[in-house]
Amino acid sequence: MAFVLGGGAAQLKPSDLAEKDILWLLRVDLGGRTFNFCTETVSITDADSVTHLCQGTLDDLDYETSFDLFGTDVGTPSVPVTVTFPVSVATLARNGQHLSSGTAELSLWARGSTLEERVILVEGRIKKGTYDGDNEPITFTIESDDFVDTALFPDVNAVVNEKTWPYADDKALNQVYPFVFGKPGATEDATGVSRKMSGTPVYLVGNTSSATEAWGLLAGHRVKATEVIVRDATDLTEQTVDVVHMADGLGRICAVANLTGGLHGYAIAGHEYYAKWTEDLGGIPSQRPSRSGKAMNDAGELFQFLIRQSTIKYDEGRVAALVDQIIGYKVGGFIGERVSPWEWLVDNLLPLVPVSIGITGAAGLYPILWNMAARVEDAVETLTEGSASGGNCFRTSPVSYEEIDLANEIRLNYAFGPIKDLYRASTTLNGSPETVPASLLTAGLTISEVSSDGTFSSINPDITGWPTAYARFSHLRHGKHAVELESNIVYERQTADAILSWMARARATYPRTVSYECSTKLAWLQPGDVVALTDDSVFFSNQVAIVRSVTWGETALSLSLLLIEDHLRDTNLTT
């Protein structure tokens, strides 16, 4: 299970930064001893009134926190340190107490606060250590190993074998128990008519042609469905059967389909079976109070469930906040092999939602939701370039355009069918539906502006693709940029359209980046925060921007800002 530090983890507060000095603290545990350092010699009292002396031999350092827009590669947090020990590190090494066996913690402390109130930025193993003679500075890197997922899900015993299902069909042996969420296979066709298609495999775990009972394994856990349609993919017959919960040979409660008396009067060894899940119920039960009695079916709850199965260190408070923010993205599907929970999320779920991943101190990994509707009123701080009256920052870089893969014609293939490995539905967002060949258009097709935000529609968007103002803007500025995507866990058209909508906004044009230097009093800002930027020299007036990175220097703070152009929101733009 993942290590969790709740949302109450210590954070820098604007009040502390405005009223108190902030100092670096370094703790090193080596050879059974603890060494405390600071950028100046101080005595710090803890909550039990015990005083800790911190040697003032820690050099000033640079520390950066950052995120990549819609990036999920968190990397390994590390920071280089230079410090002078009060004892001979060479002597410690001679006695077998090597730097490489130690651990370290780097934190920020507001003068006058307790030791427990320090803000931990990074902690981990000591790597790349170097030392010299007595009283000489040593160098090393603190490197965290909490952001590599070493778990596999489901667990090692969730597999069909002679112990778990003694009468299993040979074709079912060594198959991993499916983890089923949502209603895989429940979708609708292009006309909006509901369809049920095979969504998950069914493994024959108890049957012979003369057996009195026949069972097909649906999932290695309880499910909400009380019946499913089981399809024999070998001879193309199907029948509605009951879902029963029973223990396998190791005591795990599983969901099985009662195939006794169904299909052929028995299940046939060697045949392949699949399940169609009903529209009303589905797989693993939701833990949301609002969905009591129903299946887990949204991206937020699935993200929280799977990250809890990982060994990734994460911020429980921020993950919990995300759960409700992406509840509208409905998902369904199954995991049918042992996978890293985090890697599965990175490959299958995170690309579908407007979320980036950041890392913060001891709290760990956290999701950053892109607030597409962010306006000046949502800014947590106003930044004004110093040459203007009341300025609180100074620009340290030119404004740069960042290369991204633009997209203004986006097609998403969804409604995955595992029998033939095919997608049964698709939806297309098209920034220029007028370019569709006339031979494909129905008679009298027109394209007209239908809303104040510039959204367009057409008589038959299933032919032309449906446009939005952002895709139109992108096409007019950059020309056509077409991409095709696919998802094995989306079955609802509404969710598929929502995915394309945020992608069209995010990839409409090239974002810009710019850096500013400011006082450390603003160090409470974190990657992902929304700020309002005014810089007359480059014609920014209350421009909405996102904090991309925060870098501590010796005497000042460097902020890298990300500007995602929104031609409907920003007033100082022209096409």
β-bridge pairing 200-206 and 273-277: antiparallel
Pairing of strands 364-369, 447-449: unpaired
Angle at 344 between CA 340 and CA 348, to 5 degrees: 175
Q: With contact defined as beta carbons under 8 Å apart, do 276 and 226 qualify? A: no
Whether residue 399 contacts residue 514, with contact meaning beta carbons closer than 8 Å, is answered with yes
In angstroms, the CA 60 to CA 80 distance is 11
How much is the pLDDT for 484? 96
Sign of CA dihedral 543, 544, 549, 551: positive
Q: What does the pLDDT read at residue 516? A: 96
144: amino acid identity, one letter: S
Residue 99 has a pLDDT of 93
Q: Is 53 helix (H, G, I), strand (E, B) or coil?
A: strand
> Phi/psi of residue 175, each to 5°?
-80, 135
Contact 61, 83 (CB under 8 A): no
Q: CA-to-CA distance for 483 and 424, rounded, in angstroms? A: 18
Q: Cβ distance 411 to 420 under 8 Å?
A: no
Residue 157 DSSP SS3: coil
Distance (Å, rounded) from C-alpha 342 to C-alpha 364?
A: 14
**What pLDDT score was predicted for residue 200?**
96
Residues 296, 301, 306, 308, CA torsion sign: negative
Cβ pair 490, 498 in contact under 8 A = no
- pLDDT value of residue 445: 39
d(CA 253, CA 222): 7
Show the tokens assigned to 211: 């057996």
Residues of the chain with pLDDT under 50: 1-10, 208-210, 438-459, 572-575
- Kind of pairing, strands 381-384 and 530-535? parallel
Angular region, 454: left φ>0, alpha ψ -120 to 50, beta rest: left
- Count the neighbouring beta carbons within 10 Å of the beta carbon of residue 20: 14
Tokens of 26: 């370094």
Q: How confident is the model at residue 2, as a pLDDT?
A: 34
**In the block, residue with structure tokens 């409470």:** 524
Q: In what order do the strands lie in the sheet with 422-430?
A: 422-430, 409-417, 482-486
Contacts 24+ apart (CB under 8 A), 44-53: 44/109, 44/114, 44/115, 45/114, 45/115, 46/114, 46/115, 46/116, 47/114, 47/115, 47/116, 52/115
CB-count exposure of residue 503 (10 Å: 0-12, 13-18, 19+): buried
Angstrom distance (rounded) from CA 43 to CA 38:
10
